[in-house]
């Protein structure tokens, strides 16, 4: 695996931490580090040569390239791609630092994965992209270039990144071209990097806003309809008339519109489409987004003490396929579960499902009973925190347990629940439901809490429950019934 880091006046401490993390991973996996200088060779990053010398002495192969000026992120990757011989190419921003063990797990998954998977995106801490993805397969509509493992063959097949994007949205464009070429993309929340790209929650970045406006129009031209392009242009013109959140924005939007006008024919000429691909434009954003974009996560080094253990308790009601999916989602949790108890797991129809999952989870099947889950957990659960599922219909996103536990601990509450998407699709069509943006509504409050919630062993009856404003679960319902639920 080659790890490519595009450098532009990096912060010395962040870059040293990144290189040190790669050196640590290189003791377990084959790894070559490529540092592409987007600044000139005359600009010396303090401490860089010493850091590189130390990791080279430790056995990490490091190659310098670039020094041709600031090409932009995508063009720099394209330039470096010519010398990449490895099967997999890891792209990391210069301030994206892999968590311990993340790269080893990432490469192991990629090596064993379906050959049609082109990219595996890592989760970013403290703020992840709250993207829609299939909780069971991890398949997603786009991957961020800040921390992603790419199949080198796939990247070359589609011609690399779009050179007309200097920064921002080049990863969305690449993702959509890969999908139009028949490739698929995955999101792996269990593999994380610490990437402090925001100084505070909700921060507006002028360069991102202006570059993003230009790129959004270009993507509408390449992948969308004439109506999509018209909608985008009209939205930009409206924003020119409204309040401006930062100096120079109106002038920057005009430049974005003029730049799009110059490149419109090129993007129309290079149009990309596929039968099972439908682009999704959410204003200036892309794809479906889960609520909770600025829910903060802690890096491993920030945890002052080990997090409490969690036991998951699932009531099986007879749907073996749904139970298998739910158990798979529990296996993928970013907060590892101490155990999983399946109430009704001893029933004949459920035994085979539990046996298969038992090879990957500490799973105990229990006899079916109508007793409350809290009562069952009080008798059988080993942990003091319980992640409860009233049935097997909810498929938990990978951060479900982590979000609920963190919210409960932060607020000193004995229980927590979060938002759930009700997606209008048959559960058997879950992959297509996410790929084609099936209609959905958000379920919150007490109804969501009754479906799945976290509770402490000593929580009193009618305990105060933290309601987290993040979507951490999915239920698939028949078309037209989501709004009525």
Predicted confidence (pLDDT) per residue in 32-49, tens digit: 999 999 886 555 677 778
For residue 131, what pLDDT is reported? 93
Show the low-confidence residues of the chain (pLDDT under 70).
Answer: 40-44, 447-449, 479-485
pTM tops 0.85: yes
For residue 480, what pLDDT is reported? 59
Judge whether 2-195 and 305-477 match in fold.
Answer: yes
d(CA 164, CA 63): 27
Please state which of the four CATH numbers 1.10.645.10, 3.90.550.10, 1.10.1740.10, 3.30.750.24 is assigned to the domain occupying 2-195: 3.90.550.10
For residue 47, what pLDDT is reported? 74
d(CA 252, CA 235): 15
For residue 6, what pLDDT is reported? 95
Beta-bridge mates of residue 6: 36
Domain boundaries, the chain: 2-195, 206-273, 305-477
Q: With beta carbons less than 8 A apart as the criterion, state whether 102 and 121 touch.
A: no
For residue 202, what pLDDT is reported? 78
Q: With beta carbons less than 8 A apart as the criterion, state whether 153 and 298 touch.
A: no
Kindly report the backbone phi and psi dihedral angles of residue 433, in degrees, each rounded to the nearest multiple of 5, phi listed first: -60, -40
d(CA 189, CA 407): 19
Q: What is the DSSP secondary structure assignment for residue 429, as one 8-state letter?
A: G
For residue 484, what pLDDT is reported? 38
Domain boundaries 305-477, CATH class: alpha beta
């Amino acid at each position: 695996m080659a790890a490519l880091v595009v450098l532009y006046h990096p912060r010395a401490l962040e870059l040293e931490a990144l290189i040190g993390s790669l050196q640590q991973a290189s003791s377990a996996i084959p790894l070559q580090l490529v540092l592409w200088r987007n600044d000139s060779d005359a600009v010396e990053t303090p401490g860089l040569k010493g850091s590189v010398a130390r990791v080279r002495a430790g056995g990490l192969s490091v190659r310098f390239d670039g020094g041709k000026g600031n090409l932009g992120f995508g063009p720099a990757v394209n330039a470096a791609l010519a010398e990449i011989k490895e099967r997999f190419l890891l792209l990391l921003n210069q301030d994206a630092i892999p968590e311990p063990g993340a790269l080893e797990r990432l490469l192991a998954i990629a090596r064993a994965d379906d050959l049609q998977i082109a990219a595996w995106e890592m989760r970013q801490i403290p703020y992840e992209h709250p993207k829609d993805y299939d909780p069971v397969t991890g398949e997603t509509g786009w991957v961020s270039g800040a921390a992603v493992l790419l199949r080198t063959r796939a990247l070359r097949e589609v011609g690399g990144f779009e050179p007309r994007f200097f920064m921002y949205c080049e990863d969305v464009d690449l993702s959509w071209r890969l999908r139009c070429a028949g490739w698929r993309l995955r999101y792996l929340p269990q593999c994380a990097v610490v990437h402090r790209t925001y100084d505070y929650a909700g921060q507006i970045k002028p360069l991102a806003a202006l570059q993003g406006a230009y790129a959004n129009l270009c993507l509408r031209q390449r992948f969308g309809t004439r109506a999509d392009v018209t909608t985008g242009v009209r939205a930009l013109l409206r924003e020119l008339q409204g309040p401006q959140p930062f100096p120079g924005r109106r002038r920057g939007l005009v430049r974005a519109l003029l730049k799009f006008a110059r490149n419109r024919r090129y993007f129309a000429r290079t149009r990309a489409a596929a039968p099972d691909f439908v682009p999704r434009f959410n204003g200036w954003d892309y794809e479906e987004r889960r609520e909770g974009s600025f829910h903060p996560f802690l890096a491993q080094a920030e945890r002052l003490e080990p997090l409490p253990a969690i036991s998951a308790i699932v009531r099986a009601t007879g749907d073996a396929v749904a139970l298998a999916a739910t158990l798979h989602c529990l296996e993928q949790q970013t907060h590892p579960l101490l155990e999983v108890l399946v109430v009704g797991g001893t029933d004949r129809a459920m035994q085979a499902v539990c046996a298969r999952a038992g090879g990957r989870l500490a799973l105990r099947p229990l006899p079916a009973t109508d007793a409350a889950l809290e009562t069952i957990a009080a008798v059988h659960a080993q942990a003091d925190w319980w992640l409860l599922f009233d049935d097997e219909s909810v498929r938990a996103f990978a951060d479900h347990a982590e979000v609920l536990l963190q919210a409960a601990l932060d607020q000193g509450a004995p229980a927590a629940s979060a938002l759930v998407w009700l997606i209008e699709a048959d559960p058997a069509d879950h992959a297509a439901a996410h790929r084609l943006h099936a209609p959905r509504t958000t379920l919150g409050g007490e109804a969501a809490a009754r479906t799945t919630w976290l509770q402490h062993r000593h929580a009193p009856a009618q305990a105060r429950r933290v309601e987290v404003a993040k979507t951490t679960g999915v239920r698939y319902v028949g078309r037209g019934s989501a709004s009525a639920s």
